A and B are shown apart, each in its own frame.
Chain A
C-alpha cells in the first residue's frame, strides 16, 4: 500500500504528531488526559472536541461535549440506544451541523484533515443490493486520492485487494456485496477504511450482527492498528466485552458521563448514570462486574 505517500501526507498537512513516533511509547505526551477536560496540549490530540452541542430540528441530542482522545488507544464509545453515539461521530465528521462547538483533528479542522481520518458507518446505513463487488466498495476508500473524474486503475485495485486481504476477505473480492454474510460485509467496510491508511478511525457499531469469528478478526485488526500507533474510536454495545477490548472509554448519554481509562471509568455508578433505569442492560453490567470481581 501507499505507506510512503501517507507519511508524506502526514508531514505535508503538518499533523504535529508523527504517526510512528509513538510506536514504542504508547502515551504521546506526559500526563495524557484521563478525563475530558484539562488536557495540557489538547491541540495535539488525534481528536479534540470542545463545547459541542448538536440538535436535530431544535431537539438537542448532544450537550456540551468536551473530549480529547489520547493517541494510539482503542477507545470504546458506549451508551444506550439514542444516546447520540452515531451523532457524535457524524458531527465530528461534519455530516451533521453543530449548534455550537469546535472539533479538531491533530489541531486542525476536520475539513483539512480528511485524509487522516477513516470512517466505518453503521452497516445498515447502505443498501447492500447495490450492484458492486467487495473490491469496488473498498476502492471507494481511494476515490479522494484518485480525484475528480479520473477512473479507478489497476494500481488502486491492487491496493484495495491488499486491504481486503488484511481483513481476511481476499477470496471474496469479486463477489457482489449482497452475497456476503453480515460479518463479511462489515469486514468490507473495515477494508474500505483501512485502504485510506488513516491515523484516526471512527467505527460505528462494527460488531453489530456479526458472527463470533468476525468479531475476533475485527478485534485482532483493531489491536494491529493500535500497535501501529493509530487511534481507533469504536461505538460498542456489548458491556460484557468492553473491558477486554478497550483501553479507554467514553460513556455517553446526551452528555459525557465519564471518559478515561477503562479500569477507572467502567464502574457500576457510571453505568447507572449512563443507562439509567434500563434494567436488562444493568443486569448485563452487573454480570460483567461480577466476573470482574472473580478475575481479580
Chain B
C-alpha cells in the first residue's frame, strides 16, 4: 500500500532515465494508471495488433493457410537485414521502422512467389514447398544478420529483436504505425466478411458464382503479411504466427458462429497483446512476444477445457448425459418388453410387476448399476415399487431364487408417465428396426443392435417421415409389433 502511494507520488508523465531504477511496483502503478504517454501508446498499439491478428487469423485458419502464414513471417528476416544494409549504405537511418518493414514485406511476398513457383513447376507437395521456402529464407536472414554484425560492430544491435520481439524499444511513432495498420486490416475484413467466409467454406461454389477467388485469396494473404510485419516488433517473427493462430483456435471452443468466432478471437488477441505488453513494461527483461503468446496460449488452454460449445468439460458432461439417457431407456424397454411378453395379445398395461431378476437378465447390468438406474427412474416418476405378485409363474420363481436374496424379492411396475415414456422409446426403436429392414437391406437378426444406437438420435421429424414410409400412419402413437422375436434381447452390450 505504501509502495503504491510512493509510486503514485514519484510517477512522472514522461519516462526518464531516473525512472529506470524505480521499483517494480512503481512501474506497475504507472503502467496501470496509464500515466505515461509512451506506455499508453504502446499498449494501445499491441492491443490493436492482437485484435487484427485475431480477425485475420480466423480467416487464415479457416482457409487452412496457417503454414503459409508461418512461411511468410519467416521470410521477412532477409528483407529486414537487406533493408538495413541498403539504408545505411545510402546514409539514412538504418533502423527506420518503415524502411525495415518494407524490406520485410518485399521478401515475404518473394517467399510466397517462390512457393507458387515450386508448386507450378515441380511435383513437390505444398507443405514441402512451404518448408523449403521457410527454411531457406530464414537461414538467409540469419546469415545476413551475421554479415551486418561483422561489418558494423554494435551498430546493428536491435535487429535481432525482430526475431523475438521487444516492445521496450518501441517508439510512439512505431506504435501509431501499428495501430493504423491494424485498424485498416480489421476494416478490410469487416467489408469483405461474407466474401472471405465464402472462399473459406466452399471454393468451387464461390468460383461458380463468379467471385474472384484468386484475388480474394491474394487480399487475405496480403492482410496476413501486413499483420505479420506490424507484429514483428512487438512479437517477433518466430512467434507472430502463434498470435495469428491461437486466438481463433481458442475462439472456436466458445461458438459455432463465424461472426462470433471473429469477435471472440479479436478480443482474445487484444487482451493477449495488452497483458503481454503491460507485463513486459513492468518487467523489462521479459520479452514481450513470449508473454503475449503465453497469455494467448493460456486462454487457449482455458477455452479447450471450459469452452461452452466444444470444450472438453461440456463434451464430457454431454456424453455422460447421453449414456445416462440410453441406460434409462434400456430400463424402460426391459420393463415394457417383459410386461409385453407376459400379456401376449392384449395391450400392454402397467399393472403388472416386473421382478429384479428378470431386469438383471434383460441387460448386462451389474447389481449396483441396476440399483442406481432404478433409483433414477423412480425419481423421474417412471416406476414405483410394487408388491410381489401373488401367483408367480414357475420361471419367475426359479429365477428369483437364483439371485441374491437381499434384492431378489423387489418388484417394480411402470407408472402412467413411465408407461407413456416406455411406449415412446419402444415405438421409436421399432420404427427404426422396420426402417432398417425395409430400406437398408439389413438382415432382421442383425437389426437390434444397430437400432439401439440410432433410436436415441431419432428426432420427431424423422419419426414422422418413418411413419409415412412404413404406412402405419393410421395407428398414431401405437406401438408396432417388434419385427423379430421379443424376449431374446441382444446379448452383447455396446
Q: A residues within 8 Å of B by Cβ? A: 90, 93-95, 111, 114, 117, 119, 121, 125-127, 130-133, 136-137, 140, 143-144, 146, 148-149, 151-152, 168, 171, 176, 192, 211-213
Contact B209 A121 (CB under 8 A): no
Tell me, yes or no, whether B439 is within 8 Å of chain A by CB.
Answer: yes
Pair B208/A149 contact, Cβ less than 8 Å? no
- List the interface of chain B (C-beta within 8 A of A): 62, 191-195, 197-198, 200-202, 204-205, 207-211, 252, 255-258, 261, 439-440, 461-462, 465-466, 469
Q: For A211, what are the chain B residues with a Cβ–Cβ distance below 8 Å?
A: 439
Residue of B whose beta carbon sits closest to that of A150? B194
Docked complex Cα distance between A133 and B255 (Å): 11
The 4 closest A-B CB pairs, nearest first, are A176-B256, A212-B439, A119-B208, A93-B208
Which of B191, B200, B207, B252 touches A95 (beta carbons < 8 Å)? Answer: B207
Among B195, B200, B201, B462, the residue within 8 A (CB) of A213 is: B462
Say yes or no: A131 contacts B257, CB within 8 Å: yes
Interface of A is mostly: mixed
State whether A152 touches B205 (Cβ < 8 A): no
Q: Could you tell me the distance in whole angstroms from the C-beta of B341 to the nearest C-beta in chain A?
A: 32
Inter-chain contact B205/A131, CB cutoff 8 Å: no
- Which B residues are in CB contact (< 8 Å) with A152? 194
Q: List 25 A-B pairs, Cβ < 8 Å.
A: A95-B207, A114-B208, A119-B204, A119-B208, A121-B202, A125-B202, A126-B201, A130-B62, A130-B258, A131-B62, A131-B258, A132-B197, A132-B258, A136-B258, A137-B201, A140-B197, A140-B198, A143-B194, A149-B191, A149-B192, A149-B195, A168-B461, A171-B461, A176-B256, A211-B439
User: What are the residues of chain B within 8 A of A144 when measuring CB–CB?
Assistant: 209-211
The answer on a CB contact under 8 Å between A93 and B258 is: no
The answer to whether B193 touches A151, judged by C-beta atoms less than 8 angstroms apart, is yes
The answer to whether B210 touches A131 (Cβ under 8 A) is no
A176 CA to B255 CA, complexed, in Å: 10
The distance from the CB of B198 to the nearest CB of chain A, in whole angstroms, is: 6
Task: Enumerate chain B residues within 8 angstroms of A137, measured Cβ to Cβ.
Answer: 201
* B interface secondary structure, majority: helix
By a CB distance below 8 angstroms, the chain A residues around B194 are: 140, 143, 146, 151-152
Is there an interface contact between B208 and A117, defined as CB atoms closer than 8 Å?
A: yes
User: By the criterion CB–CB under 8 Å, are A131 and B209 in contact?
Assistant: no
Q: A130-B258, A212-B469, A213-B469 are in contact. List 7 more A-B contacts (CB 8 A).
A: A114-B209, A117-B208, A119-B205, A125-B202, A131-B258, A144-B211, A192-B205
| Interface contact A133-B210, CB-CB below 8 Å | no
- A151 / chain B contacts, CB cutoff of 8 Å: 193-194
Nearest residue, chain A, Cβ from B440: A212
Q: Once the chains bind, are A114 and B210 in contact (CB under 8 Å)?
A: yes
CA of A95 to CA of B207, assembled, Å: 6
CB-CB < 8 A to B469: which residues of A? 212-213
With A143-B198, A151-B193, A171-B461: A121-B255 Cβ-Cβ less than 8 Å: no
Chain B min CB distance to A98 (Å):
14
Residue among A121, A131, A151 having the largest count of chain B Cβ atoms under 10 Å: A131
B257's nearest neighbour on chain A, judged by CB, is A131
Residue of A nearest to B258 (CB): A131
Smallest beta-carbon distance B203→chain A, Å: 8
- How far is the CB of B197 from the nearest CB of chain A, in Å? 7
Contact B204 A125 (CB under 8 A): yes
Q: Within 8 Å CB of B62, what residues of A?
A: 130-131
A211–B198 Cα gap in the complex (Å)? 28
Report how far A5 CA is from B171 CA in the complex, Å. 56
| Centre residue among B209, B257, B462 by max chain A CB count within 10 A | B209
Closest chain-B Cβ to A63's Cβ sits at a distance in Å of: 23
Closest-by-CB residue of A relative to B466 is: A213
CB closest residue in chain A, given B468: A213
| Complex: A131 Cα to B255 Cα, angstroms | 8
Partner of A131, one of B207, B256, B465: B256
**Across-interface contacts of A111 in B (CB, < 8 A):** 210
Shortest CB distance B416–A (Å): 29
Q: Tell me the complex Cα distance, A211–B458, Å.
A: 13
A132 touches B257 (CB 8 A): yes
Tell whether A121 pairs with B201 under 8 Å between CB atoms, given A114-B210, A149-B191, A213-B462.
no
Contact residues in A for B208 (Cβ distance below 8 Å): 93-95, 114, 117, 119, 121
Closest to A176 in B: B256
Which of A93, A94, A133 makes the CB contact (< 8 A) with B256? A133
Instruction: Across the interface, name the chain B residue whose C-beta is closest to A136.
Output: B258
> In the complex the two chains form, is B204's CB within 8 Å of A95's CB?
yes
Are B440 and A148 neighbours in the complex by a CB distance under 8 Å? Answer: no
**C-alpha gap A148/B212 in the complex (Å):** 11
Pairwise interchain contact B204-A148, C-beta atoms closer than 8 A: no
Q: B440 to chain A: which residues have CB within 8 Å?
A: 212
CA distance A191 to B148 in the complex (A): 61
- State how many angstroms separate the Cβ of B242 from the closest Cβ of chain A: 21
C-alpha spacing A114/B208, complex, angstroms: 8
Residues of A within 8 A of B210 (CB): 111, 114, 144
Please tell me if the beta carbons of B261 and A121 are within 8 angstroms of each other in the complex.
no
B386–chain A nearest beta-carbon distance, Å:
40
User: Which residues from chain A contact B462 at a C-beta distance below 8 Å?
Assistant: 213
Contacts A114-B209, A121-B205, A136-B258 given: A130-B439 contact, CB under 8 Å?
no
Give the distance to chain A from B268, nearest Cβ to Cβ, in Å: 15
A134 to chain B, nearest CB (A): 11
Chain A residues with CB under 8 A of B207 = 93-95
A132 touches B192 (CB 8 A): no
